[in-house]
Structure formats: structure tokens, C-alpha cells
């Protein structure tokens, strides 16, 4: 009996995901509830992570190495996790990637899709291990680590796979073309094929090592490119597990595992620029700071996909329930200590206050309501530590401690709270600074971490104008707005959309501006300085290959 192909095995899931992609309804290829994965999965994942600590990572299938390196530090334990990874020279990574690419590019897209989806199914079995790895490299809480690095990351990967399948099936493979010329027909046999560009480099970030990396990784793979993943040296283990599972599937299918390789380095001896500038690298996906993102975008002869920093805004005009509104804002500011590219930073409030059904709430009262809402979260023994997580890097912690020197008036100072499970956890509560609209030099740049500004404006029109200006000049990935007036909402949507920034209106309860849903929400528009790409739209796929057509006249 002939074994079923992986493309046939996963045909239903691919069809289901494709339908969700183009209809934009809620769909989760991988449930976000940990209970969906069995009663013993958590304990098994924790044990697997514990066993991996202080040991060499040997799960990769990309060749032997005499050099193992690693310097990840747990933000919860304040000690190194001790995992070392095989290191390879840039020339070795390039040559092995090119050899694997020569075969991978010639597989049809449906075969590639089956292999890639199978790899996600294998990753699913390690969601809990990946969660603990993420937790102890990024400082995310366990639940965020589980959801973001596990199900949500795999959903985004699945999204790029099915978008890739759709785009590479957009045109027929071949046709008989006829043109009537009167007494005879001119007949040509035409065929078209999507040709992959070559080697792809994915540069990871320290805060979301899988969620931000797998979209570009799988987008390049589905389109026939070979991939080299260069994670941040402080957050390697989560994506290393993903790559190990993919390499195992490739090997089982008789394909060179070096179709996707892990490239590690250290902070003191980086290899990112050497890889990025190599002539054999044709595609680059990057997530991180704007300064390095601009460097990446300016490297010649590359197709580049960036997600840089942004200055995300909140616009406050009116609210049916001011307490609920401030609770929503407070949670968005506190979630993972503001270490999310979607986290808000600039809160624009008219000096006349916020309109509510019971009357206008004065500006000063609005500030008090905001600080009280933040304190209610961070001082809650059950909610504070899980919401804040831990600060990933010393740089972010120092920036937060020194926020009072930025200017303006500190209306809520950052403190540290106790994490009952991890007494050494590096924690900082949000700092809120009040500034005037004219103090643009203070609030115009991203202050990564738990730092936010309340900007006092003359009226809602000034609020909107400044938020739009910030997005156009410095980038924005999200905008959260509160208004009960259709005319004001239209003003906000028009202004921010003209700055290529999506708006979330009147969120409350379980809806938060920080969160983007796979198969429905585009992440980053690609239209302002926060990044030049958007996953996952068609362009995110189509720039990774070239349509080439051939013609033949047959006698």
C-alpha cells in the first residue's frame, strides 16, 4: 500500500485555512488554550526544558560543529540557562544553503506545503517546551509565552503557507495560445513558472523569537527559497526547537535539512551584517530597532521585509464607561511591560477632558483614573506579575529607571513588584509621564518598555493631527481610539488610515490593541516607518519569487 503524501495528509487543513484567509473570519489552526493539548503536556514540556538547560542543543541536522556557543539569560531567574548551540561559519551556512536550495526550489508548491504543515504539526507537540524556553529567554509570562510562541506563531506560519499556495497557483501552468491572423492561426505553447529568488535570511528579535520569525521563514520556504535563521543571541532556544522539527521532517522526506538552517552568534561577535551583506543572500526578513532596520532596508540588491519600531497612539475623545476604558488602556500598557511592537505609548487627551453620558470628566480626573487603573493591575497579587512578565534586557530596565529624565512630569513612577514564583524576576511597572503637545521632542521617538506619555492637547483635532504626524514621521503599527461620535470616529479613521495605520475603536473587556489575529488582521501595514512589509498580504509572498514565462512554436 502506497503511503499517503504529506500534501494529501494535510489537504483539509490547508483548504480550511485558505478559506479563513480570504474570508477573514476567526480561525485557529492551533487552539490557544493549553488544555487542548492533553493533561500531561505541561509537565512533559517543563521537564524537557529542564533537561535542555546547561546542555548542548543537539537537535539540529545541519552538520557537525566543533564550536558550541550560547549566552541566554532568564529574566526570571537572573542566571544563564546554559544552552549551547552549534556554530557555523558564514561561508559554511551559505554553501550548504545553496546546495539545499537547488533541490527545494524544484519541488511543486503543494509538496512544499505538505512538508511545511507537517513541521507545524510536529512543533505542536512541543508547544509547552517552547513556552518555557520563551519564558526564560524573553521574560514573557507563561501564558503569553505559550500562546505567542506556540499556537499563535504556528497560525501565522500556516497563514503564510496558504497565502503562498494561493499566489503560486494564481496563473495557469501552461496554455495553448491562439491568435487569428486571417488565413491561419498563430499557435504558441506557453508555460509559466514561479522561480524562487535564492537564499533568505531571517533576523529574529529578543522579545518574540518565534512569532516574529516564522512568518518570514515559512513565506520564503513555501515559495521555494532556502532559509538561514539568525535569532537574537539572547533568545535562540524557542526558534531552535522549531527549526529542529522542520529539519527532521525534511530528512524523513529525503530532502536536505539545510533547506532551513540555524545561525547563532554572540553579542560580542555578531555575524548578522556579514550574512545580510553576502551576495548570495537575496531576501531578508528583519524585526527590531528602527536604526538597524534602516540599515537593512538600504542594502542593495535584496528583497527586504522589515518590522521596525513605531510610536503607537491612543486617542481619547468620549466614552460610555470611563472606568472600563481606563482599565483597557491600563492593561495594554502593562501587558508584557510594554515590550510589544503593538503596545501603545502616546496617550492624547484634550485639555477639556473626556465626554461621558453623565457629563465631561475633567482632564485631571482622567489622569487620576488612568493611574488608578494601572495600580489596580500591578498591585493585584494574582494579576500583577502575570500581566507584567519580566523585563527582557538590562537596557530596557535602565531606560525605564531613567524615564524621569526624559522631561515632562512623572505622574506615575515605575516600581518593582514581587513575583511569588520567581523572587529574582526583573520587573518594572509602567512609568506615565505628562507632557504638553508642544513637547514633541520628548514623545516623538519610541521608548521601548513600560514607558508611556500623556499628551495634553487643545482639542481632539490637535490630538488627531499629532497622532497622524507621529505615524507618518516615526511610524505606528496600532492606534487605539475612544469616541461615541461618528463624525469624530470618521476623522480619526481617515487621518490614521492616511498614515497607513489601522485603528481599533472603543475596545473593552477581552479586546486589546496589542493583539493581532492570524487569518484576519494584517500585522504592520508596510506604509509608514514602522516597517516596509505586512504579514500576511499578497505582496509579502509575491516579492519572494519571480514569474517567468516561456513560449514555443510547435510545427
- For the four alpha carbons of 397, 402, 404 and 408, in that order, the dihedral sign comes to negative
Strands (E), 181-312: 185-196, 199-203, 226-230, 260-262, 281-287, 303-307
Average pLDDT, the chain: 96
CA distance 312 to 81: 33
> pLDDT over 90 for what percent of the chain?
98
> pLDDT over 70 for what percent of the chain?
99
Grid coordinates in use for 108? Answer: 511543486
Question: pLDDT digit string (tens) for 351-368?
Answer: 999 999 999 999 999 999
Grid coordinates in use for 555? Answer: 510545427
Query: Which among 260, 225, 267 is positioned nearest to 243, based on CA atoms?
Result: 260
pTM over 0.85? The answer is: yes
Question: What is residue 193's three-state secondary structure?
Answer: strand
Rg over alpha carbons for the chain, rounded to the nearest Å, is 25
Question: pLDDT digit string (tens) for 265-308?
Answer: 999 999 999 999 999 999 999 999 999 999 999 999 999 999 99
CA distance 249 to 6: 10
pLDDT of residue 66: 87
Tell me how long the chain is. Answer: 555
Give yes or no for residue 2 having a pLDDT over 60: no
Residue with cell 512578565: 389
How many CB atoms are closer than 10 A to CB 196?
23
pLDDT of residue 4: 85
Query: Which among 376, 358, 351 is positioned nearest to 322, based on CA atoms?
Result: 358
Give yes or no for residue 1 having a pLDDT over 50: no
Could you tell me the pLDDT band of residue 309, with boundaries at 50, 70 and 90?
confident
Grid coordinates in use for 344? Answer: 501603545
Mean pLDDT, range 328-345, rounded to an integer: 97
Question: What is residue 307's three-state secondary structure?
Answer: strand
Grid coordinates in use for 52? Answer: 535542555
Mean pLDDT, range 6-14, rounded to an integer: 97
Element containing residue 411 per DSSP (H, E): strand 409-412
CA distance 41 to 47: 10
Give yes or no for residue 22 having a pLDDT over 70: yes
Mean pLDDT, range 478-507, rounded to an integer: 98
Contacts of 58 (CB under 8 A, 6+ apart): none
| Backbone dihedral angles phi then psi of residue 551, each to the nearest 5 degrees | -130, 145
Report the CATH superfamily, name and number, of domain 6-171+195-309+533-546.
Aldehyde Dehydrogenase; Chain A, domain 1 (3.40.605.10)
CA distance 109 to 164: 8
Mean pLDDT, range 123-132, rounded to an integer: 98
HEC per residue, 415-461:
CCCCCCCCCCCCCCCCEEEEEECCCHHHHCCCCCCCEEEEEEECCHH
pLDDT of residue 554: 83
Residue 147 CA neighbour count, 13 Å, CB half: 13
Mean pLDDT, range 11-40, rounded to an integer: 97
Mean pLDDT, range 171-199, rounded to an integer: 95
Query: Which among 62, 108, 102 is positioned nearest to 85, based on CA atoms?
Result: 62
Contacts of 508 (CB under 8 A, 6+ apart): 321, 324, 325, 327, 328
| Backbone dihedral angles phi then psi of residue 334, each to the nearest 5 degrees | -85, -25
* Residue ranges of domains in the chain: 6-171+195-309+533-546, 313-505
Element containing residue 479 per DSSP (H, E): strand 479-482
CA distance 300 to 287: 19
Report the CATH superfamily, name and number, of domain 313-505.
Aldehyde Dehydrogenase; Chain A, domain 2 (3.40.309.10)
Element containing residue 155 per DSSP (H, E): helix 151-168
CA distance 417 to 428: 7
Grid coordinates in use for 298? Answer: 538600504
Grid coordinates in use for 462? Answer: 490637535
Is the bond preceding residue 263 a cis peptide, omega within 30 degrees? no
Amino acid at each position: 500500500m502506497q503511503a499517503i503524501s504529506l500534501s494529501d495528509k494535510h489537504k483539509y487543513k490547508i483548504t480550511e485555512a485558505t478559506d479563513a484567509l480570504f474570508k477573514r473570519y476567526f480561525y485557529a489552526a492551533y487552539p490557544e488554550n493549553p488544555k487542548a493539548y492533553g493533561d500531561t503536556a505541561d509537565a512533559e514540556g517543563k521537564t524537557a526544558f529542564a533537561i535542555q538547560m546547561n546542555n548542548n542543543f543537539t537537535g539540529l541536522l545541519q552538520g557537525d560543529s566543533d564550536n558550541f556557543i550560547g549566552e541566554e539569560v532568564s529574566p526570571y531567574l537572573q542566571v544563564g540557562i546554559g544552552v549551547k548551540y552549534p556554530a557555523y561559519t558564514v561561508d559554511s551556512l551559505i554553501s550548504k544553503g545553496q546546495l539545499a536550495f537547488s533541490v527545494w526550489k524544484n519541488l511543486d508548491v503543494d509538496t512544499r506545503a505538505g512538508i511545511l504543515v507537517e513541521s507545524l504539526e510536529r512543533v505542536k507537540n512541543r508547544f509547552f517546551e517552547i513556552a518555557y524556553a520563551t519564558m526564560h529567554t524573553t521574560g514573557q509570562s507563561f501564558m503569553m509565552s505559550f500562546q505567542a510562541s506556540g499556537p499563535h506563531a504556528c497560525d501565522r506560519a500556516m497563514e503564510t503557507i496558504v497565502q503562498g499556495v494561493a499566489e503560486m497557483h494564481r496563473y495557469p501552468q501552461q496554455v495553448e495560445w491562439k491568435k487569428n491572423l486571417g488565413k491561419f492561426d498563430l499557435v504558441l505553447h506557453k508555460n509559466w513558472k514561479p522561480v524562487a529568488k535564492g537564499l533568505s535570511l531571517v533576523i529574529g528579535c529578543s522579545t518574540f523569537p518565534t512569532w516574529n520569525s516564522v512568518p518570514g521563514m515559512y513565506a520564503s520556504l513555501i515559495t521555494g527559497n532556502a532559509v538561514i535563521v539568525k535569532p537574537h543571541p539572547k533568545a535562540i532556544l524557542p526558534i531552535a526547537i522549531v527549526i529542529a522539527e522542520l529539519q527532521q521532517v525534511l530528512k524523513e522526506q529525503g530532502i536536505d535539512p539545510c533547506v532551513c538552517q540555524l545561525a547563532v552568534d554572540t553579542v560580542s561577535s555578531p555575524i548578522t551584517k556579514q550574512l545580510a551583506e553576502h551576495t548570495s543572500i537575496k531576501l531578508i526578513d528583519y524585526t527590531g530597532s528602527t536604526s538597524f532596520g534602516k540599515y537593512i532596508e538600504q542594502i542593495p540588491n535584496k528583497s527586504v521585509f522589515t518590522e521596525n519600531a513605531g510610536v503607537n497612539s491612543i486617542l481619547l475623545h468620549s466614552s460610555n464607561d470611563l472606568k472600563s476604558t481606563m482599565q483597557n488602556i491600563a492593561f495594554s500598557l502593562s501587558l508584557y511591560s510594554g515590550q510589544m511592537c503593538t503596545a501603545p505609548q502616546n496617550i492624547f487627551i484634550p485639555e477639556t477632558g473626556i465626554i461621558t453620558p453623565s457629563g465631561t470628566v475633567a482632564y485631571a480626573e482622567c489622569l487620576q483614573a488612568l493611574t488608578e487603573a494601572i495600580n489596580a493591575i500591578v498591585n493585584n497579587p494574582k494579576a500583577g506579575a502575570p500581566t507584567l512578565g519580566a523585563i527582557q534586557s538590562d537596557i530596557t530596565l535602565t531606560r525605564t529607571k531613567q524615564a524621569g529624565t526624559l522631561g515632562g512630569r512623572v505622574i506615575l513612577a515605575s516600581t518593582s513588584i514581587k513575583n511569588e514564583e520567581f523572587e529574582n524576576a526583573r520587573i518594572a511597572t509602567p512609568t506615565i509621564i505628562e507632557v504638553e503637545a508642544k513637547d514633541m521632542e520628548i514623545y516623538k521617538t519610541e521608548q521601548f518598555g513600560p514607558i508611556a506619555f500623556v499628551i495634553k492637547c487643545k482639542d481632539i483635532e490637535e490630538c488627531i493631527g499629532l497622532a497622524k504626524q507621529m505615524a507618518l514621521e516615526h511610524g505606528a503599527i496600532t492606534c487605539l481610539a475612544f469616541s461615541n461620535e461618528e463624525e469624530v470616529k470618521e476623522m480619526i479613521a481617515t487621518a490614521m488610515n492616511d498614515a497607513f495605520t489601522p485603528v481599533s475603536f472603543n475596545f473593552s473587556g477581552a479586546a486589546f490593541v496589542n493583539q493581532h489575529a492570524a487569518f484576519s488582521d494584517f500585522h504592520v501595514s508596510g506604509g509608514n516607518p514602522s516597517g516596509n512589509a505586512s504579514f500576511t498580504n499578497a505582496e509579502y509572498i509575491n516579492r519572494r519569487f519571480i514569474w517567468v514565462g516561456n513560449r514555443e512554436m510547435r510545427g
